[in-house]
Structure 1
Amino acid sequence: MQPGRFLCAIAAMCSLSACAPASFDDAQGSGPRSNFTQTGETTSEVISALMERRSLLAEDSVYEQVATAAISASSRAAEAELISAKLRAEAASKNWFPTLGPSVSLTDLGDLVAGLLIEQVLFDNGRRKAEREFAAADVEVAAVSLSQDMNSRVETAVGLYAAALRGDEKAAYGDRALRRMQEFRRIVQGRVDGGVSDRADLNVVDSKISGIRTAAATARDAATTARAELHAMTGQSFDQKPSHLSIGTPPEQGQFLSVLKAGAEAERTIAQAKSGRAGLLPQISAAGNVTTDGSGAGVTLGTGQPLGLGTPAAIQALEASKEAAKRQVGEAEEAARRAYSRQVQQIASYQRQEGETSALVRRSRETYELFQKQFEAGQRPVMEVIQVYEELVRREQAYIDAKFEVVLIQLELARDLGLLADGDKI
């Protein structure tokens, strides 16, 4: 082939390869953009679903401020992996272009001839298409991993904030109970000094006071620890007396992030199997070589990998990996359904306990007030009043625990659904 015709052929191959599909990598913009922003003609349904997710935390609330601070302070290792996956996908989107590389050969006279080898694959049984599909699915897996990472981080931060609030509330109530029990102790001490009561009654009161003091100190330590951990996580301090945390109801058709990730991983595995299978089948390439001695071009037929007696089994194994990937998606969906059912039942259970303990607290307070009046009228001994008051304290603490357990499980459910961070802010 003449050099002129050879160059024309290479130009034609380049023009055909320009028809390669566009990737969905981020375009450079003047302002900050979400990692899930897509450009180009090809878009991913998985990444679009991540982009459309909205946080269930109330806007302009302290909880939303905690979530924003947690995301902003993240080191975002998953974000770096997503950027890397996008670059790999961008590189794979151009695998239609001819490859260019040096060539060195030894002539019959013992001379080395340097040249430039240009090769364009004409038919490869879909191998390069599968490579592009693999890279696109790899981006989806990295995107879901980033969403999981950010939602888990928000759940941890808001959970720490809620734990600090619970500790504060229990400690504050413990302090009030401690002051009331010390007043009872003063009364019992007077009765002991007057010979009306036995010394054992005073020991019982001291034991109850010690228990309340220890519980209040433990709650205060828990609040301090949670708040210190939250500050180390976000570098900020937040209001210590906000309104009660309320999380919106998740949508009925919400899909767990674990299922999205399993689907993306399955697509990636299937694409890898397609690429591996195509590598075991024949492919046709056009190649040209330009050297100092001249140029030449031709069409070659070959395989990406050497064939052997185990090739049929290798092809069957690749086909079996596709089925395994699909079954893994089914397992992820089953695990998600079980987790959803468990969390919904736990929320309902703790909400029931919250309502029941609230009613018990109300009745215990009424009983205590009645006993207190009867004691002041000389109709009840002080030890009976102390016993009723101790029961009221226990029920108040149980009510506080049930109230915050509802919040913590709601956070877990929202985390699994990817509804603790707005998709366009990740």
Structure 2
Amino acid sequence: MSSMPEIGNPLTLLQSKPKAEDAGEVTKRTSFEQDADVGEDGQSAILSTLLTRQSMIPPDSSLGHVADVALTSSRRSAEAQLRTAKLRAQAEDKNWLPTIGPEISLTSLGDVIAGLVFEQVLFDHGRKKAEREYAAADVEVAAVTLSQDLNERTFTALALYIKALRGRDKEHVGNKGLAQMHQFERIVKGRVEGGVSNKGDLRMVRTKVQTLETKSQTASESSATALAELKAMTGTAFSLTPATPLGSHYPDLEPLDVLKARAEADRSVAQATVERAAQLPGLSANARVTNQGNGGSLNVGNDVGLGLGTGARLKAIEASKDIAARQVGEAREDGARARKRLESNIQSLARQEKEANTLAREGRETYTLFEAQFRAGQRSVLEVVDVYEQSILRALDGVDAKYDKLIAQLELARDLGLLADGDKI
């Protein structure tokens, strides 16, 4: 293990440079583009779009700070998988060169023949090229998987932070309502002792007080639990500051699930090409240098041999390419549906937030009116309490809608890979 080369942090793989094989080799491509060479221009569309995706979270905001800490504290298995895929791609990059291997045999006379065997594939129905394409597609799959993993980790951290904010705000609204409800309780208690109201009125008011106390305590516990989880996840204690909603405009990008389906389809097609080549005879040249002399030969053959089932196997291999294309189409359909659902949900939650805040404001105005009428003897104390309780409940609904909308925005950004900068992954 001590002799293994230093691989480096996977967050820098996108911009690392491959070493030149000789003094005359010059390259300007990143290591990802070198390993995932798909086409004559040497550019990988999947890796390029991953590189250019930028986070929608403002870097100087509280959410931006949480996202940065979540990324820098990441120790994910997908990082190791990307390193492994990159090394496999580097190993396959020169598979077209001749191979050299030792050969040792014992003759019937007891003589030992030792030497080296040189083999060069001359014609293989595209197998070597497909093996390189498979390794390059494997890097793309690993890169998309890492992007998904880090976007999911960022979303989890942000969701915990928002859960803590939601709990704090609901606790604040609940405590504010409790102060007034306790005042109502004292008023009704005095009226009961004075014989103006009955004990049933006092019991109803106390039930409403207990309901608000439960809601406030639950919100406080939820906030504390979310902060504890976030600290356990990132190793950092966060102070709660208001969160800024994300922008309403999302770029027209393919979701990460679609990118992964495309990369997996490319890998499946390359694998099918390798399997097809294994069914067909290829041509290779061999040279032997031994202690008994030198020799050479041309060999024609395949891995599995030809038989009556060869045609059916070739058709099945070709059919796997169609399966890969259909899977990409299904991923695009699912991604489009998920995006429309989240966009509609965001609009609905925005409307609910606005309506809840309007109802809460109108409830406070109605409470002010009812309180004046109560003092004039035109309203009962329970009517005033009911109106005030409804205004508090609408305010709590507004808090829920506000943060539900923010969570939905983060979900859409996560699916599009817009919670982490691609050039930092």
- Normalization by structure 2: what TM-score? 0.90
**CA distance in structure 2 between the partners assigned to 1:216 and 1:130 by the alignment:** 62
**Mapped pair 1:34 → 2:12:** yes
Contact 1:347/1:406 (<8 A) preserved:
yes
Q: Quote the Cα distance in structure 2 between the aligned partners of 1:32 and 1:153.
A: 16
SS in 2 for 1:288: strand
| C-alpha separation in 2, matches of 1:187 and 1:75 | 58
1:400 matched residue in structure 2: 399
Aligned-partner Cα distance in 1 for 2:235–2:395: 33
> Residue in 2 aligned with 1:5?
none
Quick check: 1:113 aligned with 2:120? no
Q: Name the residue aligned to 2:18.
A: none
Three-state SS of the structure 2 residue aligned to 1:298 is strand
Matches within 5 A, 1:24-423: 34-37=12-15, 38-39=30-31, 40=34, 42-107=42-107, 109-240=109-240, 242-423=241-422
SS at match of 2:13: coil
Q: Percentage identity across aligned positions?
A: 51
Q: Secondary structure at the match of 1:259?
A: helix
State the one-letter code of the partner of 1:34: T
Inter-partner Cα distance in structure 2 for 1:421 and 1:65: 12
Structure 2 contact 165–242 (Cα < 8 Å) conserved: no
Deviation string 1:307-331 (CA, Å, 9 cap, x unpaired) is 2221111111100000000000000
The residue type paired with residue 275 of structure 1 is V
Tell me if the contact between 1:361 and 1:392 (Cα under 8 Å) persists in the aligned partners: yes
> Which residue of the partner structure matches residue 18 of structure 1?
none
Query: What is the aligned length?
Result: 398
For 1:171, the aligned partner's letter is E
CA apart distance, 1:131: 0.2
Contact 2:131 2:274 in 1 (8 A): yes
Query: Following the alignment from structure 1 to structure 2, what is the Cα–Cα distance between the partners of residues 424 and 252?
Result: 17
8 Å contact from structure 1 (residues 350, 402) kept in 2: yes
Separation in structure 2 between the aligned mates of residue 36 and residue 415 of structure 1, nearest angstrom = 20
Contact residue 185 and residue 205 of structure 1 kept, 8 A: yes
Contact kept? 1:36, 1:50, Cα under 8 Å? no
Deviation at 1:32, TM superposition (A): 9.0
Q: What letter matches 1:161 in structure 2?
A: Y
Letter in 2 for 1:105: S
Unaligned stretches of 5+ residues in structure 2: 1-5, 16-29, 35-40
Tell me the equivalent position of 2:38. Answer: none
Specify the SS of the correspondent of 1:237: coil
Q: Give the 3-state SS of the residue equivalent to 1:104 in structure 2.
A: strand
Give the 3-state SS of the residue equivalent to 2:14 in structure 1: coil
1:167-205 Cα distance to aligned partner (Å, 9 max, x none): 000011111111111100110011001111101111111
Instruction: Summarize deviations over 1:204-235 as a string: whole Å, max 9, x none.
Output: 11111110100101111111111110111111
**TM-superposition CA deviations, 1:49-78 (whole Å, max 9, x none):** 101000010121111110011111111210
Contact 1:357 1:398 in 2 (8 A): yes
The 2-side partners of 1:97 and 1:148 are apart by 36
Q: Distance in 1 between matches of 2:10 and 2:131?
A: 30
Shift of 1:106: 3.7
In structure 2, give the amino acid aligned to 1:359.
T
Is contact 2:130-2:274 (8 Å) kept? yes
Contact 1:55–1:422, Cα closer than 8 Å, also in 2? yes
The code of the aligned residue for 1:185 comes to E
Partner amino acid, structure 2, of 1:214: T
What is the CA–CA distance in structure 2 between the aligned matches of 1:83 and 1:113, rounded to whole Å?
41
Instruction: Tell me the secondary structure at the aligned position of residue 313 of structure 1.
Output: helix
Alignment check: 8 A CA contact 1:36 1:48 kept: no
Greater displacement, 197-206 / 109-118? 109-118
Aligned-partner Cα distance in 2 for 1:35–1:341: 34
SS at match of 2:43: coil
Q: Which runs of 5+ in 1 are unaligned?
A: 1-26
SS of 1:125's partner is coil
2:285 is paired with a residue whose SS is strand
C-alpha distance in structure 2 between counterparts of 1:172 and 1:363, whole Å = 20
Rounded Cα–Cα distance in structure 1 between residues aligned with 2:277 and 2:312: 14
Structure 2 CA distance for partners of 1:266 and 1:165, relative to 1, 3 Å: same
Q: TM-score, normalised to structure 1's length?
A: 0.90
For the residues of structure 2 that align with 1:226 and 1:111, how far apart are their CA atoms?
Answer: 75
Cα distance in 2 for partners of 1:28, 1:347 equals 42
Equivalents in 1 of 2:408, 2:254: separation in Å?
A: 17
- Give the match's secondary structure for 2:12: coil
Contact 1:56 1:250 in 2 (8 A): no
- More deviation, 300-309/111-120: 300-309
Checking the alignment, whether the CA contact within 8 Å between 2:63 and 2:243 is kept in structure 1 is no
- In the alignment, what sits opposite 2:26? none
